[in-house]
Amino acid sequence: MSEETQVKKKRKIVLDERLLAYKGVWVFIEHERGQVHPVSWELLGEGRKLADMLGVELAGVVLAAPGEEAKRFCEEAYQYGADLCYLMQSEVLADYRNDPFTQGLTELVNAYQPEILLLGATTQGRDLAGSVATTLQTGLTADCTGLTIDPDNRSLLSTRPTFGGSLLCTIVTLNYRPQMATVRPRVMAMPEKVPGRVGRIVEHPLAMAEDDIVTKVLEFIADDSRDKPQLPFADIIVAGGRGLGKPENFQLVRDLAEALGAEVGASRPVVQAGWVELDRQVGQSGKTVRPKLYIAAGISGAIQHRVGMEGADCIIAINNDPNAPIFDFAHYGIVGDAMTILPALTEAFRQKLATLKQAG
Ligand SMILES: Cc1cc2nc3c(=O)[nH]c(=O)nc-3n(C[C@H](O)[C@H](O)[C@H](O)COP(=O)(O)OP(=O)(O)OC[C@H]3O[C@@H](n4cnc5c(N)ncnc54)[C@H](O)[C@@H]3O)c2cc1C
């Protein structure tokens, strides 16, 4: 390495004075029909850590129709770690629409200047984050899997998969504020709720009327995915992969899942082969899950699968190859034929549950 390169590498990044005026960590509180999306609470948990590292306040940002409901969201945000909430209430914020939400969030950012703004990588969060970042002309890192602070210069270090998930890269927004990031549901742990924890509200009006908005809500049609598998929030998941050999064998995964009261998950090849529906795919291009127990049968543990399930409290891998990568991060490994082990586990759990039922 030349001397010049070494000097460049060691040079400390000093932030522009203008950027230092931005202070605080914000989390956008996403809600629909009276329900806050759990990713908002997960982000408050992560935001709390970032705010503590920076020595600043953590704020929730609530945009909603006027009423008690909005205040309830703020109260819940304090219990998940927020010190304060920025509350913007207007009839035009009753249902999510890009125009008023973008204008509202942009106005708040311009007025109070947070250094970090986090949103869930949900349909709503992705839509809003992109338009707010372009309106503010700042940097946005989508689908982050890790967030931390560079102690040298207070910058947010946003880590996310790149090159098809084969590498992780860390992105820094050096010259613009706020630093924006989205995170998929279940990537971050749910923080402990502290009942009775309180904070303060900063109310701010929205300078926008219904006539200023071209998009109109004619009807609300509930998301039918509510009736589909709720993999991200399942406590137990039994997942199967290509090692099961043929679609009929996938029934062994379903049987074990049924015995355990679990959801069924799958790796991408079996979804692509049409053995299982798309909304059961776990991984980078599927769902991120965080169950208490994840049983993986005939799954090699490729990085694109791993990023979607490594947050599980306990991973049990069943694979006939003792060198399969999944054994590098599973908590328990069973080396053997899934076609024998799955029915044996199903039988054992059924018997155990029957015994427990008999015992009352
Ligand atoms: C951009 C991109 C995105 C992707 N997104 C995803 C994603 O979201 N989710 C995902 O899962 N993948 C994803 N993939 C694919 C990923 O790279 C892997 O190809 C995939 O995860 C492998 O699936 P598998 O483990 O089922 O199959 P394989 O890698 O083929 O592994 C099968 C395993 O089964 C074992 N086995 C064989 N027979 C038996 C037996 N009888 N009993 C027990 N074990 C047995 C084998 O030893 C092997 O380890 C993505 C790839 C790319 C490029």
- Mean of the pLDDT values across residues 259-286? 96
- Where do the domains of the chain lie? 16-221, 227-358
Atom of ligand 1 nearest to the CA of 267: 11
* CATH number attached to the domain at 16-221: 3.40.50.620
Distance 326 CA to ligand 1 centre (A): 10
Q: Write down the pLDDT at residue 19.
A: 87
Q: What is the pLDDT of residue 222?
A: 77
- Answer whether residue 17 shows pLDDT above 90: no
> Which of the pair, 359 or 31, is modelled with greater confidence?
31
- What mean pLDDT is predicted for residues 162-175? 88
Q: Residue with the nearest Cα to atom 11 of ligand 1?
A: 267
Ligand 1 probe mutation, 305, 327, 329, most atoms within 8 A of CB = 305
Higher per-residue confidence, 2 vs 281: 281
Element (H, E) at 297: strand 293-297
Q: Residue 225 pLDDT > 70, yes or no?
A: no
Kindly list the protein residues whose Cβ atom lies closer than 6 A to any atom of ligand 1.
Answer: 164-165, 241-243, 267-269, 281-286, 298-300, 302, 304-305, 308, 318-321, 324, 337-339
CATH of domain 227-358: 3.40.50.1220
pLDDT score, position 50: 98
User: From the CA of 308, how far away is ligand 1's center (Å)?
Assistant: 13
**Residues contacting 240, CB < 8 A, separation 6+:** 249, 250, 252, 253, 264, 265, 266, 267, 270, 276, 296, 297, 298, 299, 338
pLDDT in tens, 319-348: 999 999 999 999 999 999 999 999 999 999
Q: In this structure, what token pair is assigned to residue 170?
A: 């860390």
Tell whether the model's pLDDT for residue 9 goes beyond 60. no
pLDDT tier at 6, thresholds 50, 70, 90: very low
Q: Is the Cβ–Cβ distance between 28 and 117 less than 8 Å?
A: yes
User: Ligand 1 centroid to 261 CA: how many Å?
Assistant: 24
Q: State the closest ligand 1 atom to the C-alpha of 318, by its place in the atom list counted from 1.
A: 43
Select from 187, 237, 244, 267 the residue to mutate for testing ligand 1; criterion: most ligand atoms less than 8 Å from CB. 267
Q: What is the pLDDT of residues 72-105, one digit of tens each?
A: 999 999 999 999 999 999 999 999 999 999 999 9
- In our burial notation (b when 16+ CB lie closer than 10 A, e otherwise), range 290-321 reads bbebbbbbbbbbbbbbbbbbbbbeebbbbbee
pLDDT at 227 over 60: no
Model-level pTM?
A: 0.84
Instruction: Write down the pLDDT at residue 30.
Output: 97
